[in-house]
Structures are given as structure tokens and as C-alpha cells.
């Protein structure tokens, strides 16, 4: 007697590789991500340079520290300094849908608004040492457009740490290998150091940027985990854990 057909085995669908998941995320709404990131940066710099050239309150001069004196000027770090604009684009590029993209954009907007509020109510500057960019064209561009002001907190440092928190969360979701977590962390730390090595900030600016970036990044990642119904585990205390 013929045996009845055996139904195919059912079970959870296999999880795509981390490379494929990242590829799918980056290509999803790529045009909106590119336009949105460009528009966001353009609007931020409109406010940034307006407050830089037209401060609303008396300017406070931030003192230097032994850390600033220990870190010598190096023009080669300007490449890492400018790489921030690539690094901060990654969290948006890694969002898998429109809702996540809007959620990330809103959290970035709130953090930038906090930084601009400091620049409005507490404008600062510092005694920038005389530096020479003759060997580095990017440094000459930086020196021509960015005066030593709007420095506390360092939004370069704050946004790098904010982006790192988001990148770590997204890498964790796609089960990326440990080396990608390490690479992201090292890139973030290098950007922070570059603000001192290029003499664009003093240590007090960097410290305030660390506080702002870690606070905003932690809150944003915890909020997105809550939105997705995930456990509110500490997302930043173990930065190398995939």
C-alpha cells in the first residue's frame, strides 16, 4: 500500500548572513537616506556658522590642560577628522525601514539641538595655537572655514559617540562579527583624538562631547529597543560584545 506523502519539514526561516543583511539595509531607501543625511548636515551647519559668526552672549575662553599640551599638532590627523562625515552616515544607512530611519533622525535632531543650545547660551572659544597646514590641503580648507569657536561641547566627539552607539546596536541586530565592532570603536576613538591632534578643540570640549554623545546615544538606543519590544539590556557597557 502506498505511503501517504510526508509533509515538508517546517521551522523558522534561516537567518541571512550578516553581509547580506547589511547589504539589504544599505540599499533600502538609499536615495532617501542620502538626501536626508545631506539635508540634515546642511541645516545643522547653517545654524552652526550663524552662531559661530554672530554669538548671542559673551564668549567664554576655555583654558587648556596638560592633555592639550601633551598632544602635539599633527596635520595628518585631519583625514580622520573629516572622516566623521562618513562615520556618522553609517547609522542611517544601516536602518532597515522607514520607521527606523525616522526614529534615528529624530534622535540625532534632539542631540544636535542640545549642542546648538550650548552654542547659543554659552558660546566659547579657546586660544588656538599657531599651526601650519602647508603639507595638508584638507587642513587649509578646515582653517579657512572653521574659526576656533562653537567648541563646547565638541559636536565632532558627541556625534561620533552617538553614531557609535547606533552602529553597535545595528551590528548586534545583524549578528556581525566582533572585528566589525572593534573597527567601529577604533574609528570613533580616532575621530575623537583627531580633534585634539588638529588643535580644533581642547580637552574640556572633548570631555563635554563625550558626556553629550554617550548620553544621547544611550537614550536613543534604549528607546529604539523599547520601541521594538526588545529587552532593555545595557547597550554600551560592553562595547566589543557582538
Asked which of 114-118, 156-160, 225-229, 230-234 is least confident by mean pLDDT, the reply is: 230-234
DSSP H stretches of helix in the chain: 18-27, 30-53, 66-70, 78-82, 84-87, 90-93, 98-121, 137-145, 155-173, 178-197, 203-227
pLDDT at 11: 47
Confidence of residue 61 (pLDDT cuts 50, 70, 90): very high
Q: How far apart are CA 157 and CA 208, in angstroms?
A: 9
Banded pLDDT at 15 (limits 50, 70, 90):
low
The mean pLDDT value of the chain amounts to 87
Percent share of the chain, pLDDT over 90 = 70
Contacts of 165 (CB under 8 A, 6+ apart): 213, 214, 217, 218, 220, 221, 235, 236
216 touches 158 (CB < 8 A): yes
Q: What is the pTM of this model?
A: 0.86
Q: In which band, very low, low, confident or very high, does the pLDDT at 240 lie, cut at 50, 70 and 90?
A: very low
Q: What is the pLDDT of residue 237?
A: 41
Q: Which residues contact 166 (CB under 8 A, 6 or more apart)?
A: 91, 94, 104, 217, 220, 221
CA pseudo-torsion sign 178, 94, 190, 137: positive
The phi and psi torsions of 25 (rounded to 5 degrees) equal: -65, -45
pLDDT one-digit tens code per residue, 131-186: 777 777 777 777 766 777 788 999 999 999 999 999 999 999 999 999 999 999 99
pLDDT given at position 233:
61
Amino acid at each position: 500500500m502506498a505511503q501517504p506523502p510526508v509533509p515538508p519539514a517546517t521551522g523558522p526561516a534561516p537567518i541571512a548572513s550578516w553581509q547580506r543583511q547589511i547589504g539589504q539595509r544599505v540599499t533600502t531607501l538609499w536615495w532617501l537616506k542620502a538626501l536626508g543625511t545631506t539635508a540634515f548636515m546642511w541645516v545643522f551647519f547653517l545654524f552652526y556658522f550663524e552662531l559661530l559668526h554672530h554669538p548671542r552672549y559673551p564668549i567664554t575662553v576655555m583654558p587648556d590642560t596638560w592633555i592639550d599640551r601633551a598632544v602635539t599638532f599633527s596635520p595628518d590627523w585631519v583625514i580622520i577628522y573629516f572622516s566623521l562625515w562618513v562615520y556618522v552616515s553609517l547609522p542611517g544607512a544601516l536602518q532597515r525601514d522607514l520607521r527606523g530611519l525616522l526614529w534615528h533622525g529624530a534622535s540625532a535632531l534632539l542631540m544636535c539641538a542640545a549642542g546648538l543650545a550650548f552654542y547659543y547660551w554659552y558660546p566659547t572659544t579657546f586660544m588656538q595655537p599657531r599651526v601650519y597646514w602647508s603639507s595638508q590641503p584638507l587642513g587649509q580648507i578646515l582653517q579657512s572655514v572653521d574659526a576656533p569657536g562653537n567648541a563646547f561641547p565638541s559636536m565632532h566627539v558627541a556625534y561620533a559617540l552617538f553614531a557609535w552607539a547606533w552602529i553597535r546596536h545595528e551590528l548586534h541586530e545583524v549578528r556581525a562579527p566582533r572585528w566589525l565592532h572593534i573597527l567601529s570603536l577604533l574609528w570613533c576613538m580616532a575621530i575623537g583624538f583627531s580633534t585634539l591632534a588638529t588643535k580644533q578643540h581642547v580637552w574640556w570640549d572633548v570631555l563635554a562631547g563625550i558626556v553629550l554623545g554617550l548620553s544621547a546615544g544611550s537614550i536613543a538606543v534604549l528607546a529604539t529597543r523599547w520601541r521594538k519590544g526588545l529587552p532593555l539590556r545595557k547597550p554600551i557597557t560592553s562595547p566589543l560584545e557582538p
